[in-house]
Chain A
Amino acid sequence: MAANFWTSSQCKQLLDPEEVDVVHQIDRERGITLEDFKLIKLHMSNYIAKLAQNVKVRQRVVASAITYMRRVYVRRPITEYDPRLVAPACLYLASKAEESTVQARLLVFYIKKLYSDDKYRYEIKDILEMEMKILEALNYYLVVFHPYRSLSQLLQDVGMTDATQLTWGIVNDTYKTDLILVHPPHLIALACIYIASVLKEKENTGWFEELRVDMNVVKNIAMEMLDFYDSHKMITDERVSAAMMKLNR
């Protein structure tokens, strides 16, 4: 059966961090550094989330859309497909794939409302056109497994249902990084629980040890998230717009 994560393409195509953190040659020629690349993807993840909030779709759709966007840029240079178009197009496609269809004209309406900047202005036809390119870039693999599914079960098992909000938020934040391309979703969920346990000063070592998972990986994911939180404080609007500027010809 292939209807579970382990036999899915997502599982088979999990990437090494080294594969994800590659800036394409053409992008490098434009002066885009790995730092810029990550910043742009972070900025676009926020853009997708903001847009989704306005059109009112569930978190799953946001998570899938961001995953699509990140997958696209493993394959295509960021200067080739403008992320300011790829982001809404990914949300559009994800809304269909997750059975919460949002009309393209609604997206266009909210894009105009959110950004007065002309560089964000795209029309319906642009979104539809980009949707096709994204489908190809994704090789039509649209099913994404997310950490959310296992989260509530795990929280119940560890007796931390009171930390649901907190953990859920941390999981949301993992989409600001490329973790979903690199690690299986249940390990990401565990890492988020791990962080929540530390924050709540709850002693769960025994519970984690009983799980038959590689705790080193869990801890690594957790470390990566904590690093992200640290570096996130340093991110300023100026840095983001400087990176975004490099996209323009």
Chain B
Amino acid sequence: MAAAAPGQLNLEESPSWGSRSVECFEKLEQIGEGTYGQVYMAKEKRTGEVVALKKIRMDNEKEGFPITAIREIKILKKLQHENVIKLKEIVTSPGREVDEQGKPDGNRYKGSIYMVFEYMDHDLTGLADRPGLRFTIPQIKCYMRQLLTGLHYCHVNQVLHRDIKGSNLLIDNEGNLKLADFGLARSFSGDHNANLTNRVITLWYRPPELLLGATKYGPAVDMWSVGCIFAELLNGKPILPGKNEPEQLNKIFELCGTPDEINWPGVSKIPWYNKFKPARPMKRRLREVFRHFDRHAMDLLDKMLMLDPSQRIAAREALDAEYFWTEPLPCDPKSLPKYESSHEFQTKKKRQQQRQNEEMAKRQKLQHPQQHSRLPPIQQQGQSQHWTGPNHHLNASHNPLSSGPNHHQYGKPHGGPGGPNRYPQSGNPSGGFYSDRGAQGGNYSSGGYPPQGRGPPYPGGAVGPSGPRGGAAGGYGVPPNYPQSNQYGGSGAGRGPNSSMPGNRNQQYGWQQ
């Protein structure tokens, strides 16, 4: 390290060390919500390069740098693959206050930390939602193959993504697809016996074993999500849009049949199986419901949406499926059309805007018919705020806004821990496992976001910034009767020289594959 020359004072930080300031970038616009903060499109001032900045909120953290962020950084620094988003660097905002002596000023760290990612033009959901856009079969195959390739890479490197869904699959204008948002990801190396939280993965993409309360699981959880996305791409809309956990399970059972010891050995030992065991058995109707899919697509989907995780196809096998090797073949990413930038966050915003404008126009027509055509959109917006007070119709105009394409990420507070009092500590009503749902409903309604939005409602904010994992911050949706939500409980198990012993207990989930 460069020390100051003799006689000189070493006042300046060594340039080869430390993080750059976020001032090196110019924020252009917000493009999304990450697991614990906003995501911005930004331009590096010096080079003009466009990047994505993901903010890690630090205020309100009782336990310092959030462990979720530590996990994401560790994992992203470890994974280097063309189908995994690249973390370029980490920059800090100048909110930090340190006095001249370099001593802490007595307060907590006030600034923010940003992760700098390569910029991607689209996400899969945003792209699929473009009006009038239909993916071609070679295009779907191309995206699916990249998704599986990236996921296979994660799995061989012992990383579970745990939040695979369209808005986390980023696509650039070269047709490349990359896995992003590793805010819920977890490495499963060395922790074979660790209990993992089952409150992960956005509800619509959450596999049955997690819904049934399994806390030991493996890469198969991500493969279920892949199956849901695959079917969604072919089907044109989400296939399992449950409103809450029991309904989600029910939808799965209606489509994939009910689990029993024959089609899923060991299922009766999963914690909540008896709770959710359907009254009467149902047949698997997958092939019937999606009979319009081509045969190879159907065969692959069937293997992805296996109830029993140990029978579910792995990413590697899926890449070998006939589907990818029969005509029409997956296209070259570069041959794909280039689209104007679209992120789910933005398309949603645009649509809300549009809806709002239409609503305003309608109302104006009623109240001030003569003004309507003359008002440019921007003024209409200004007026809408102006009218907020007196106009009783306003509630009506709010509704489409909030119940519109409302993605879960809007609904959840960013990194905002509610303090310990948000835990529904108050005993364990006969309601059973989801007794926390009442509290969540409260969250939604107080935020003015009814749960019937486009996005999966987030019971428990399981994917929230502070879910059951951090333990440090959140409070959302930790079921009071869920002893294993704190996965660190298992940490002691691996102590000592034998910590690398493989855990046999996991074999039932086929981890070793």
Given contacts A9-B77, A25-B3, A141-B77, contact A125 B104 (CB under 8 A): yes
Label chain B's interface by main secondary structure. Answer: loop
Chain A: minimal CB distance from B178 (Å): 16
Q: Which residues of B contact A8 (CB under 8 A)?
A: 78
Q: CB of B14 within 8 A of chain A? A: yes
Q: List, in ascending order, chain A residues with CB within 8 A of B102's CB.
A: 80
Task: Give the complex CA separation of A210 and B18 in angstroms.
Answer: 43
Tell me which of A3, A26, A80, A101 contacts B78 (CB under 8 A): A3
Chain B contacts with A in 1-24, Cβ cutoff 8 A: 1, 3-4, 6, 10, 14, 17-19
Question: What 1/0 flags go to A44-72 for Cβ under 8 Å of B?
Answer: 00000000000011111000000000000
A25-B3, A136-B19, A140-B73 known; A3+B64 contact, CB < 8 A: no
Instruction: List chain A residues, Cβ under 8 A from B492.
Output: 56, 58, 100
Complex Cα–Cα for A31 and B497 (A): 41
- A99 interface neighbour in B17, B73, B191, B495, Cβ under 8 Å: B191
CA distance A132 to B112 in the complex (A): 11
Pair A100/B157 contact, Cβ less than 8 Å: no
State how many residues of chain A have any CB contact under 8 Å with chain B. 51
A247 within 8 A of B: no
Interface contacts (Cβ under 8 Å), in number, total: 126
Instruction: Tell me which of B96, B107, B191, B491 contacts A125 (CB under 8 A).
Output: B107
Residues on the A chain within 8 Å of B14, using CB: 75
A104 & B17 in contact (Cβ 8 Å cutoff):
no
Given the known interface contacts A58-B495, A74-B1, the answer about A129 and B108 at a Cβ–Cβ threshold of 8 Å is yes
Chain B contact-residue range equals: 35 or more
Cα A129 to Cα B107 in complex, Å, equals 9
CA distance A128 to B64 in the complex (A): 5
Residues 46-85 of B at the A interface (beta carbon under 8 Å): 61, 63-65, 67, 70, 73-74, 77-81
- Contact at A128–B109, with CB atoms within 8 Å? yes
List A contacts of B513 (CB < 8 A).
Answer: none
Q: Is A96 interfacial (CB-CB < 8 Å)?
A: yes
Residues of B within 8 A of A104 (CB): 63-64
Nearest CB of B to A160, in Å:
13
- Distance from A196 Cβ to chain B, minimum over Cβ atoms (Å): 14
**Please, how many angstroms separate the alpha-carbon atoms of A100 and B488 in the complex?**
6
Contacts of B498 in A (CB 8 A): 152
10 pairs, A vs B, C-beta closer than 8 Å? A2-B80, A60-B499, A99-B487, A103-B63, A104-B63, A141-B77, A142-B70, A142-B74, A143-B74, A168-B497
- Using a CB–CB cutoff of 8 Å, the interface residues on chain B facing chain A are 1, 3-4, 6, 10, 14, 17-19, 61, 63-65, 67, 70, 73-74, 77-81, 90, 92, 96, 102, 104, 106-109, 153, 156-158, 191, 194, 471-472, 487-488, 491-492, 494-500
- Contact surface of A with B, Cβ cutoff 8 Å: 1-3, 7-9, 22, 24-26, 56-60, 74-75, 77, 80, 92-93, 96-97, 99-101, 103-104, 125-132, 135-137, 139-143, 148-149, 151-152, 164-165, 168
